[in-house]
Structure 1
Amino acid sequence: MAKEIENANKPKIQMVRKRYKGILMMENEIEEIEKMDTKDDDIWVCSYPRSGTTLTQEMVYLVQTLDFKTANSVQLDQRFPIIDLKDDRYPYYKGIKGIEQMESPRMIKTHFHHFLLPEQLQKGKGRIIYIARNPKDVVTSFFRLMQWGNELVEGDKTFDLFVDGFIKGTELLCPWTRHVLGYWEKRNDSNVLFLKYEEEVRVMHRLPF
C-alpha cells in the first residue's frame, strides 16, 4: 500500500504532442527523419501501436543474429530502438542520433505512417516489415497502455472517448485505416513484407518448442 501511495504521488511526466501533416504524434524529429539517409541493409519494423510490434521485433532480431544470449540480457529498446521519440528524460528515446550510432545491419522500430517514413526508405533503400492487428484489440490495448503511462489527455481520458478518437481519426497516429492501407498498398514492393499478428501467433503456436 505504501508503494502504491508513493507511485500515486510521483509527478506525471507526459510526453509533448504535436501534429504533422495532419497526423497527431508525440514530439520527435520527423522533419529530419523524412530526409535522413537510410542503408540498404536496414530493417524497419513498422506498425500502428499495440499491433504485435514487440513480438515481431524479437523474431526479427533472433532470425538476423541468432544471438539468444544478448536477446536475454539486453533491453529490446537498446537492441531495436524506436526512432519516433526524442526525449532526454528517457534512456532509449534518442531519436536519429541513436540510430546513426548503430552498427549495420540496423534494426529500427517505428509507428509512422508509410508516407512519413524516410524518403529513401520509401523508395526501396532499406527493408520494411509491417505488422497489422485486429483494430478492436489494438484500440483496447493502446488505451490501457496510455492509461498505465499517464499519457491520456482531457479529450481521451475514458475508453469511450479514446475509441471515438480512434474511429474518427483524431487519436494518436490515426486514422488507423490510413495507417494500415498505406503499407498494404505497398505490400508487393520488393522491400516490403506485410504480416498479420493473428497469423504470426498461430505460426508460433505450431512451432515444436
Structure 2
Amino acid sequence: QSFKGVLLQGYLLHPHVLRGLADFKIRNDDVFIVTYPKSGTTWMEEIVSLIMNGGDPDRVKNKLLVYRVQHLEVGPPVGHLWHLRKTRSPRLLATHLPLKLIPKQLQQAKCKIIYVVRNPKDNAVSYYHHHKMSTFLGNYKGSWDDFLTHYTGGHVVYGSWFDHVLPYWKFSLERPDRVMVVSFEELKIELGAMVQRISQFLGRP
C-alpha cells in the first residue's frame, strides 16, 4: 500500500493507525528510536532499553523487547494508539517512518530522537535478503539488479534510503539537543564509547 507517496507494508501497517498518528500526542520524556529498515533497529532498541533501566540486565531480562520498546506505526487498527497513550512514561518508541509521516508534534516537543543510519551499500544488501526471506514482504523473487533499481528509486517499503536519511540528518543539525544521529558502523567499531555518548544524550550518564 502507498500512504502519502510512501510505499508501506500493508499486512503490518493499517491506514487507520497511520492517519491517527498525525495528531498523536508526544510527551517531553518520550525517547524515539528511528531507523530506515535493516539499519540496526533491534540493536539500538536493546541499548536504549538497558540505558533507561540503569544498565542493569536483571531489570529487563524477563520482559520481551517488543514490550520494552513499542513500535509507533505497527499494530492493530483498533486499540493500538490507545495502548500507546496509556503506556507509562518514559515511553520508548521505535519507528521506520520517514520524517514527513511522523506525528506533527514530534518536531516541536522536547522528546529525544536517536536516528541510526547505515552505509547504503550494506543496507541495500541486507534489505534485499530481508525481502527474499520475509513472507510479509512477498518473498521477493527478483534479481539483485532489479532490487537495486527499486531501492534507489524508492520503490521499496518505507521508500528511498536517501529520502529517509536526509530530512532526519537536517533535523539533527537544527536541533542537536534533541536529535542524535548514530551510525551502525560506529556502533560496531566503538560500542562502549557510543553507548556513553547515547547515555549522555539521554541524560542518563
Rounded to whole Å, the distance in 2 between the matches of 1:31 and 1:68 is 36
2:79 aligned with 1:115: no
Q: CA RMSD in A?
A: 2.2
1:74 counterpart residue number:
63
1:108 to 1:159, Cα distance in 2 relative to 1, 3 A: farther
Number of the residue aligned with 2:4:
21
Which residue of 2 is the match for residue 12 of structure 1?
Answer: none
Select the residue among 123, 148, 171 that pairs with 1:163.
Answer: 148
Match of 1:65 among 53, 56, 63: 53
Distance in 2 (alpha carbons) for counterparts of 1:95 and 1:159: 36
1:95 deviates by 3.4
The aligned counterpart of 1:86 is 75
Deviations 1:16-40 (A, max 9, x none): xx21111011223111112110100
2:157 maps to what in 1? 172
CA, structure 1 residues 37+152, in 2 after alignment: closer, same or farther (shift >3 Å)? closer
C-alpha displacement of 1:206: 7.2
Computing the radius of gyration over CA atoms, which structure comes out larger, 1 or 2? Answer: 1
Length, aligned pairs only: 185
* Structure 2: distance between partners of 1:87 and 1:118: 18
Tell me the percent identity.
27
2:136 corresponds to 1:151: yes
CA deviation string 1:16-68 (max 9, x = no partner): xx211110112231111121101000000001011011111111111111241
- The gaps in structure 2 that reach 5 residues or longer are 195-205
Ranges of 4+ aligned residues in structure 1 off by more than 3 Å:
none
Render the CA deviation track for 1:121-153: whole Å, top value 9, x for unaligned.
112342111000011221222222233221334
Preserved CA contact (<8 Å) 2:131 2:138: no
With normalisation by structure 2, the TM-score equals: 0.82
Q: What TM-score comes out, normalization by structure 1 length?
A: 0.80
Equivalent residues of 1:143, 1:159 under 8 A apart: no
